[in-house]
């Protein structure tokens, strides 16, 4: 066990940033360190993630809206930087770790001003805007994929492939077998649009499932996350099609839902992909077309090429196409289990451990590092995750 140190995690207000930050926070605390969170008002409201961790809200603008919007964003960033500098004068963190999103930027700028060691974690297969902005100044860049677009060649020497941390309850699913699927047994489908929901899934999935052959359709048991404004219409569609379905606007028990799911229909967000590959669950992925730099399509590529998923671009995501892909994946239980195994090969279950090792190494004298601690693999080193 290393000596107790203090770390500040800075994360934006979406689940894709907050979930891996929460996983790292839990691991660092398990190792005896203290942790604080810097975020925006959205981030601190995520249920069950940082409820017992000291949190600080700093202003952070978003570079949008033309010159006036940029000016407002710049003023907010400078105010957030001043707040972070003052906070770090008091807390004196050993390192500041950014998880992307504009709310992470003021904390990182404050850390640069104070000479505090820094790192960023990139959840997606494309380096995000904030992480690109700070890549030259941070001490280390932790990546989730072996190939990350928009990562400048001059910065690859500081990149470490660690994966995307998931909650411990999800990591434990890797130790369980794929749920038994008998030829005429219940076929459980989980539909999720991530922390923001996805109206396209609500519009297409019920009708797509209704097009399946009747002997297949009668086996279905669906759990679907839907937006508040969509949920009543989705419930009515499933009732019309006589397909058993449980609906919710938020799924707090996602590890339990994944545990029994035979197939997942989802967006291709970073946290979703990390959980699917860690647990080993086959999927039909519908990347968000408006995602910055089309990063969801890039996220889906590894799992799809491995044979663990099928990707349908949103313009092609129709009820007919979904039914066709469902039958290709689900009519043969052996083929579905094989796809689950292929999805599993893309998982990096030690991501939380390896990221924590990297964080502990920042600016630390060798004498207080864990004895025998393995260093995270360098960029592109797949052997460490075999």
pLDDT value, residue 369: 38
Sign of CA dihedral 93, 98, 104, 108: positive
Average of per-residue pLDDT values in the chain: 88
**Binning pLDDT at 50, 70 and 90, where does residue 319 land?**
very high
Mean pLDDT over 295-314 rounds to 96
pLDDT value, residue 43: 63
- pLDDT for 379 beyond 60: no
Mean pLDDT over 194-215 rounds to 90
- pLDDT for 123 beyond 90: yes
The tens digit of pLDDT for each residue in 21-80 reads: 999 999 999 999 999 999 987 766 666 678 788 989 887 766 555 666 656 766 778 888
pLDDT value, residue 380: 33
The tens digit of pLDDT for each residue in 14-35 reads: 778 888 999 999 999 999 999 9
Tokens 């924590």 locate to: 356
**Binning pLDDT at 50, 70 and 90, where does residue 365 land?**
low
**Binning pLDDT at 50, 70 and 90, where does residue 203 land?**
very high
Whole-structure pTM value: 0.86
- pLDDT for 126 beyond 90: yes
- pLDDT for 383 beyond 50: no
- pLDDT for 183 beyond 90: no
- pLDDT for 94 beyond 80: yes
- pLDDT for 375 beyond 50: no
Name the most confidently modeled range: 46-50, 67-71, 181-185, 344-348.
344-348
């Amino acid at each position: 066990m290393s000596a107790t140190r203090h770390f500040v995690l800075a994360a934006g207000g979406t689940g894709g940033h907050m979930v891996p930050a929460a996983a790292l926070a839990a691991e660092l605390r398990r190792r005896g360190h203290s942790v604080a969170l810097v975020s925006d008002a959205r981030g601190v409201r995520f249920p069950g993630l940082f409820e017992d961790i000291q949190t600080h809200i700093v202003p952070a603008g978003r570079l949008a809206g033309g010159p006036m919007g940029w000016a407002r964003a710049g003023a907010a960033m400078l105010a957030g930087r001043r707040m972070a500098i003052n906070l770090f004068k008091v807390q004196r963190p050993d390192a500041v770790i950014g998880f992307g999103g504009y709310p992470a930027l003021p904390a990182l700028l404050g850390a640069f001003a104070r000479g505090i060691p820094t790192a960023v974690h990139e959840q997606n297969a494309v380096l995000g805007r904030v992480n690109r902005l700070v890549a030259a100044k941070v001490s280390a860049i932790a990546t989730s994929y072996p190939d990350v677009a928009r990562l400048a060649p001059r910065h690859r020497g500081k990149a470490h492939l660690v994966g995307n941390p998931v909650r411990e309850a999800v990591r434990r699913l890797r130790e369980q077998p794929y749920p038994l699927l008998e030829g005429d047994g219940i076929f459980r489908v989980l539909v999720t649009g991530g922390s923001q929901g996805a109206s396209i899934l609500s519009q297409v999935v019920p009708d797509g499932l209704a097009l399946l052959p009747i002997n297949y359709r009668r086996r279905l048991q669906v759990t679907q996350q839907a937006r508040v404004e969509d949920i009543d219409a989705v419930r009515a569609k499933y009732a019309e099609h006589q397909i058993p379905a449980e609906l919710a606007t938020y799924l707090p028990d996602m590890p339990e839902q994944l545990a029994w799911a035979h197939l997942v229909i989802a967006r291709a967000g970073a946290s979703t992909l990390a959980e699917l590959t860690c647990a080993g669950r086959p999927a039909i992925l519908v990347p968000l077309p408006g995602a910055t730099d089309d990063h969801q399509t890039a996220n889906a590529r590894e799992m799809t090429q491995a044979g663990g998923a099928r990707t349908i671009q949103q313009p092609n995501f129709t009820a007919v196409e979904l039914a066709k892909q469902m039958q290709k994946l689900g009519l043969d239980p052996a083929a579905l289990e094989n796809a689950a195994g292929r999805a599993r090969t893309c998982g990096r279950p030690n991501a939380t451990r390896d990221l924590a090792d990297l964080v502990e190494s920042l600016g630390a004298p060798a004498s207080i590092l864990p004895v025998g601690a393995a260093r995270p693999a360098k960029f592109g080193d797949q052997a460490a995750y075999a």
